[in-house]
Amino acid sequence: MSLEKMIALHPHADHRFDPLARAARHAGLCALFCTSCADACAAEDMDMRQCIRMCLDTADIATATSRIATRLTAYDATLRRRTLELCIEACTLCAAECDRHDHDHCKLCATMCRECADDCRAALASL
């Protein structure tokens, strides 16, 4: 099933929402990757508190972004824009934190965060 298809079925949807749908989908996935990375960091034998905190904060922001981005009825354009901007910032910071560690889960999380930030930038440009 495709989130893009679901959003396209909305009575107010048009093709300008395609990048927003991609960003919403990627933000939802990013939240899951960040949550999984935080859990894996908790199992490591070293102090990973900063990475855990950054991943969990990013997961929360990405979840909020994905939810706000999928609501097309009577939306607030400023709130949508700021949410996307915050997601970009959180993903950028999380990717930088995860890049500091040599764990495969951190590397994968950093990659997902960068991809999410790129999709959020594309969505911003389309608004």
pLDDT at residue 68, as a whole number:
94
pLDDT tens readout for residues 52-79: 999 999 999 999 999 999 888 788 889 9
Sign of CA dihedral 91, 96, 101, 102: positive
CB 77 within 8 A of CB 127: yes
Residue 14, pLDDT score: 67
Span 21-126 CATH architecture: Up-down Bundle (1.20)
- Whole-model pTM: value is 0.92
Give the pLDDT of residue 36.
98
Q: What residues of the chain score a pLDDT lower than 70? A: 1, 13-16
pLDDT at 11: 74
